[in-house]
């Protein structure tokens, strides 16, 4: 019977187990988005995971929306990632880079005062931390067709840069109210051109990104993350089941390494507020398992027993862990030994420095 410790093939690579490190923003880069040795230690500690998915990584200057998050658009950033991927590979681990464009979930302060960009000029509401403190989000500027094409090129260049940096593949961030999600959902997309209106048109941008990256680096090294019931960052869709059923069915055409589906998500300290038309917690993966034919990964608050149950029953092929992987760099070994798990410290998730980052204990400490 398959479980978390069973191997699995994604694309052309074999994973030692199905314990996946979820993409986790930790704000340990510098303002220029260049990775550092502290980040190398953090990822190296967790290399026993079947696959590490890196923290969300900005594909361009316009994609930046959070403090001290890494990038992948400059040579300096590429060089900064190389020791990290090498360290993971030296421990026989595998690592994908998550490609990120925050869209309207940013602030003009990150862009020299220029407007943020999105599918439509609709403010998500809420606030964002800038280098000058917490500020209200502002209405974005609508991307025109030529800018959409340029943004797809940015995704492709970022994917190629990721391969140059030594990553085994890339995961496109299409979840949590960031740019691709902003195009997919009707609450943030009121365009009247080929990228808006119908479900097919709203999904077009995300699917074009998938197609372009698959062509550039191979579909076997390409994956995508979606949040069909997500409301984070002010997201809403009028027909979420129909919208994401179409999107996910179309993904079957690409033979991707995997599809990463999120159950309803609330960030630390927040509460998920369900929408009546949305699939609820622990309904999402089960529903879309009937539509998606390839490798399916799930995520959001799974414990070990629940994750093993999902895999053994074929609901998911892999489970990504966030907080458990933050607090337990040797999570795989703890699962193997049925050992106790460390607790995480929410206060240090984005605080910078070593505390709560590379100082969690190992079983043999």
Q: DSSP for 308-338?
A: HHHHHTTS-SEEEESHHHHH-TTHHHHHHTT
What Å distances lie between residue 220 and 215, 241, 334, CA to CA?
Answer: 10, 27, 30
The CATH number corresponding to 8-348 among 3.40.50.2300, 3.20.20.70, 3.40.50.1370, 1.20.1110.10 equals: 3.20.20.70
Share of the chain above pLDDT 90, in %: 96
DSSP state of 41: H
pLDDT 10s digits, 287-327: 999 999 999 999 999 999 999 999 999 999 999 999 999 99
SS3 state at 174: strand
Rounded distance between C-alpha atoms, residue 351 and residue 343, angstroms: 17
pLDDT (tens digit per residue) in 11-67: 999 999 999 999 999 999 999 999 999 999 999 999 999 999 999 999 999 999 999
C-alpha span between 365 and 355 (Å, rounded): 17
This prediction has a pTM of: 0.98
pLDDT at position 265 over 90: no
Query: Looking at 42, 178, 278, 357, which residue is catalytic?
Result: 178
- Is pLDDT of 270 > 80? no
- For residues 72 and 57, the answer to whether their CB atoms sit within 8 Å is yes
Pairwise CA distance, residues 29 & 171, whole Å:
20
End-to-end C-alpha distance for the chain, whole angstroms: 32
The packing angle between helices 145-164 and 75-90, to 10°, is 40
Distance (Å, rounded) from C-alpha 344 to C-alpha 228? 27
Q: How far apart are CA 277 and CA 173, in angstroms?
A: 23
What is the token pair recorded at 180? 């691709």
122 burial (CB, 10 Å; 0-12 / 13-18 / 19+) is middle
Q: Is the pLDDT of residue 269 over 80?
A: no
DSSP 3-state of 78: helix
Rounded to the nearest 5 degrees, what angle is found at the Cα of 125, between the Cα atoms of 172 and 287? 45
Q: Catalytic site residue 178?
A: yes
Exposure string over 18-33, b if 16+ CB within 10 A, otherwise e: bbbbbbbbbbbbeeeb
User: Phi and psi at residue 298, in whole multiples of 5°?
Assistant: -125, 165
Q: Please give the pLDDT value at position 290.
A: 98
Local structure of 346: helix, strand or coil: helix
User: Quick check: 271 pLDDT over 80?
Assistant: no
Structure tokens at 189: 């997309």
Tokens matching residue 63: 């994609």
DSSP H or E run through 169: strand 169-174
Q: What is the mean pLDDT of residues 176-194?
A: 98
Domain ranges of the chain: 8-348
Q: Which candidate, 163, 137, 204, places its Cα nearest to that of 78?
A: 163
- Range with lowest mean pLDDT among 238-247, 271-280, 285-294: 271-280
């Amino acid at each position: 019977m398959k479980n978390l410790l069973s191997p699995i093939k994604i694309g052309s690579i074999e994973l030692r187990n199905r314990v996946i490190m979820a993409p986790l923003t930790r704000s340990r880069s510098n303002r220029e988005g260049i990775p550092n040795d502290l980040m190398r230690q953090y990822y190296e500690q967790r290399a026993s995971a079947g696959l590490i998915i890196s923290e969300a990584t900005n594909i361009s200057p316009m994609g930046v929306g959070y403090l001290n998050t890494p990038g992948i658009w400059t040579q300096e950033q590429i060089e900064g990632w190389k020791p990290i991927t090498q360290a993971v590979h030296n421990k026989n681990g595998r690592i994908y880079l998550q490609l990120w464009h925050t869209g309207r979930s940013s602030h003009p302060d990150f862009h020299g005062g220029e407007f943020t960009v999105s599918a439509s000029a609709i403010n998500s509401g809420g606030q964002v931390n800038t280098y000058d403190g917490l500020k209200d989000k502002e209405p974005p500027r609508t991307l025109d067709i030529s800018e959409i094409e340029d943004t797809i090129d940015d995704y492709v260049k970022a994917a190629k840069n990721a391969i140059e940096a030594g990553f085994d593949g890339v995961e496109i961030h299409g979840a949590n109210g960031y740019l691709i999600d902003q195009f997919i959902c009707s609450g943030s997309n009121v365009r009247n051109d080929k990228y808006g209106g119908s479900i097919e048109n709203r999904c077009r941008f995300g699917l074009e990104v998938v197609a372009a990256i698959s062509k550039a680096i191979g579909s076997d090294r390409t994956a995508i993350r979606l949040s069909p019931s997500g409301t984070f960052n002010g997201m809403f869709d009028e027909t979420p089941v129909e919208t994401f059923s179409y999107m996910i069915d179309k993904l079957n055409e690409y033979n991707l390494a995997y599809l990463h589906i999120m159950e309803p998500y609330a960030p630390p300290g927040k509460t998920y507020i369900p929408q009546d038309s949305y699939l609820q917690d622990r309904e999402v993966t089960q529903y879309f398992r009937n539509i998606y034919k390839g490798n399916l990964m799930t995520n959001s608050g799974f414990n070990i027993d629940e994750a093993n149950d999902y895999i053994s029953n074929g609901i998911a092929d892999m489970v990504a862990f966030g907080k458990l992987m933050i607090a337990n760099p040797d999570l795989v070994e703890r699962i193997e030994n049925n050992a106790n798990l460390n607790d995480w410290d929410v206060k240090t998730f984005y605080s910078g420095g070593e505390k709560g980052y590379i100082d969690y204990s190992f079983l043999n400490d």
